[in-house]
Amino acid sequence: MFDNFPLWPDRASSTAGNVDALYIFLLIVSGLMTLLIFAAVVYFAARYRRRPGVPAEQIEGSIPLELTWSIIPLGVFLVIFAWGAVVYFKSRTPPRDATEVYVVAKQWMWKLEHAEGQREINELHVPVGRDVKLIMTSQDVIHSFYVPAFRMKQDVLPGRYTVEWFRATKPGTYHLFCAEYCGTQHSGMIGSIIVMEPAQYEAWMSGGSTGPLSATGEKIFAELGCVTCHRADSQGRGPSLQGVFGKPVLLEDGRTVTADENYVRESILDPGAKVVNGFKPVMPTFQGLVSEEQLNALVAYVKSLSNAGSGGMKANAAAVAVPNPAPVKGSQVNQ
Ligand code: CUA
């Protein structure tokens, strides 16, 4: 019946149903309150209308009544708050083993690169039923990655990474919009998310790759000379990057930060911002020397040093257990 008059976009992700349920709950609560208020206005207007010979009576207040109309709405709002918080945290927390796709926005297009190396423009192919994490940045102004069918929207900012994730539940082609005004062609900054059956997706994936993003990153790492200081054997002038990603890092000033995408990015562009404990701030900045795509590849490479199979995992454990960054046999496991 609503084929030509859809009230909702497709529900094509694992979070879509949760978001809609909360939204429908809000609609019902608002609708009921509106009806209640209208009914009360009409009833009171009739019941207490001015009549000749009946003097008006002033009511000074009623504690039970005031408590009632304070406590009931409080309860309703707390339900909305708790429900909303649960839906929000679920939709903001990418699952640990999600497939990663790097997104670079620019006026006025979306550039996407799979961890496996496939590049796309204004199109993103994903398999049904797999968690996909988008690591996004912009090379000019603020954009916003918005897929209504997935009930997912996240601003994409210059100078740092933002993240969003989804699990597509239904094959099909879905709209991708830029949802932040970004200049003349903002409305033309659109694309498609193409959700495929896994077998179909594997076939698509097998063509046109330039090799994994992390391998591209490793090449850049060597070309820029990073490898001369960040040696795997911890004997270089910079900290070894083996098994660092995702782990807490103790800094020179006593703070501890988590080595996430934004930390790696900042350390490349502004190396003096967070110097690792035990090292000198000798690294030059690479601001202006690497493109957003190259940065993504470098981040993917540093990340790959931390999750290259079980050997890598063991290396991580050793690196964390021993606070001194000096030679740790376990952390030199071949990657
Ligand atoms: Cu990009 Cu609007």
pLDDT digits (tens, 9 = 90+) for 282-301: 888 888 888 888 888 888 88
Residues 76 and 125 in one domain: no
Give the three-state DSSP class for 79: helix
Q: Is 182 in the pocket of ligand 1 (CB under 6 A)?
A: yes
Closest atom of ligand 1 relative to the 179 alpha carbon:
2
φ and ψ of 168, to 5 deg: -70, 140
For residue 272, pLDDT over 70 is answered with yes
- 241 and 164, same domain (yes or no): no
- Regarding whether 301 and 233 lie in a shared domain, the answer is yes
Mean pLDDT of 244-249: 85
For residue 144, report the distance from its CA to the centre of ligand 1, in Å.
Answer: 6
Question: Average pLDDT over the chain, rounded to whole?
Answer: 84
Q: Is residue 262 part of a domain?
A: yes
Neighbour count for residue 129 (Cβ, 10 Å): 14
| pLDDT at residue 172, rounded to an integer | 92
Tokens of residue 137, six digits: 């940045």
pLDDT at position 330 over 50: no
Most confident range (mean pLDDT) of 175-184, 214-223, 259-268, 307-316 is 175-184
In a domain, 109, yes or no: yes
Q: Are residues 235 and 313 in the same domain?
A: yes
- In this structure, of 19-33, 184-198, 285-299, the range with the lowest mean pLDDT score is 285-299
Q: CB of 175 closer than 6 A to ligand 1?
A: no
Amino acid making up residue 250: L
Ligand 1 in reach of 106 Cβ (< 6 A): no
Q: What is the pLDDT of residues 297-313, one digit of tens each?
A: 888 888 888 875 433 33
pLDDT at 319: 37
Q: Which domain holds residue 77?
A: 16-47+60-92
Looking at 37-41, 193-197, 211-215, 314-318, which range is the least confident one?
Answer: 314-318
Q: Which of 206, 232, 257 is the last residue of a domain?
A: 206
pTM of structure: 0.71
Please check whether residue 334 lies inside any domain of the structure: no
* 186 Cβ below 6 A of ligand 1: yes
pLDDT tens column, 132-143 = 999 999 999 999
In a domain, 79, yes or no: yes
Atom of ligand 1 nearest to the CA of 186: 2
Note the pLDDT of residue 173.
93
Assigned token pair, 188: 């033309």
CA of 178 to the centre of ligand 1 (A): 4
pLDDT for 1: 54
pLDDT digits (tens, 9 = 90+) for 83-130: 999 999 998 999 988 889 999 999 999 999 988 878 888 999 999 999
Nearest protein CA to atom 1 of ligand 1, as residue? 143
Specify whether 302 is located in the same domain as 230: yes
- Note whether 311 and 220 are same-domain residues: yes
Q: What is the rounded average pLDDT of the residues 1-5?
A: 68
178 pocket-lining for ligand 1 (C-beta < 6 Å) = yes
Higher-confidence residue of 308 and 322: namely 308
pLDDT digits (tens, 9 = 90+) for 37-81: 999 999 999 988 888 888 888 888 889 999 999 999 999 999 999
How close is the Cα of 291 to the center of ligand 1, in Å? Answer: 20
Residue 6 has pLDDT above 90, yes or no: no
Does 327 map to a domain? no
Task: Name residue 88's amino acid.
Answer: Y
Half-sphere CA count of 265, side-chain side, radius 13 A: 18
* Nearest atom, ligand 1, residue 142 CA: 1
Q: In what order do the strands lie in the sheet with 162-167?
A: 119-121, 109-114, 99-106, 131-138, 162-167
Would the pLDDT of 207 be above 80?
no
Question: Which atom of ligand 1 has the smallest separation from the CA of 108?
Answer: 1
Note whether 110 and 164 are same-domain residues.
yes
- Counting atoms of ligand 1 from 1, which one is nearest the CA of 143? 1
φ, ψ (nearest 5 deg) of residue 118: -65, 135
Is 139 domain-assigned? yes
Q: Are residues 104 and 165 in the same domain?
A: yes
Q: What is the pLDDT of residue 151?
A: 93
Where a domain ends, among 142, 176, 206?
Answer: 206
CATH code, 193: 2.60.40.420
* Judgement on whether residues 124 and 139 belong to the same structural domain of the protein: yes
Q: Is 194 in the pocket of ligand 1 (CB under 6 A)?
A: no
The pLDDT, as a whole number, for residue 332 is 37
Atom of ligand 1 nearest to the CA of 187: 2
- Residue 176 lies inside a defined structural domain of this protein: yes
Q: Do 168 and 119 belong together in one domain? A: yes
CATH number (domain holding residue 262): 1.10.760.10
Q: What is the mean pLDDT of residues 238-253?
A: 84
Domain count along the chain:
3
Rounded mean pLDDT, 156-176: 93
Cα 89 to the center of its chain, rounded Å: 11
Quickly list DSSP for 157-189.
-BTS-EEEEEEB-S-EEEEEEE-S--STTGGG-
Ligand 1 within 6 A of 180 CB?
Answer: yes
Above 80 in pLDDT, residue 316? no
Q: Tell whether ligand 1 has an atom less than 6 A from the beta carbon of residue 176.
A: no
Please give the full DSSP string across 268-284, using - where no structure is assigned: HH-TTSSPBTT--S-PP
Question: Percent of the chain, pLDDT > 90?
Answer: 43
- Ligand 1 centre to CA of 181 (Å) is 5
Indicate the residue among 72, 92, 112 that finishes a domain.
Answer: 92
- Nearest-atom number in ligand 1 for the CA of 181 is 2
| Per-residue model confidence (pLDDT) at position 106 | 92
Distance 143 CA to ligand 1 centre (A): 4
User: Are 224 and 152 within one domain?
Assistant: no
Does some domain include residue 329? no
306 CA to centre of ligand 1 in angstroms: 34
221 closest CA partner among 233, 229, 209 = 229
Judgement on whether residues 86 and 103 belong to the same structural domain of the protein: no
10-33 burial, b at 16+ Cβ within 10 Å, e below that, comes to bbbbbbbebbeebeeeeeeeeeee
Burial of 219 (0-12, 13-18, 19+ CB in 10 A): middle
Is residue 308 a contact partner of residue 335, using CB atoms and an 8 Å limit? Answer: yes
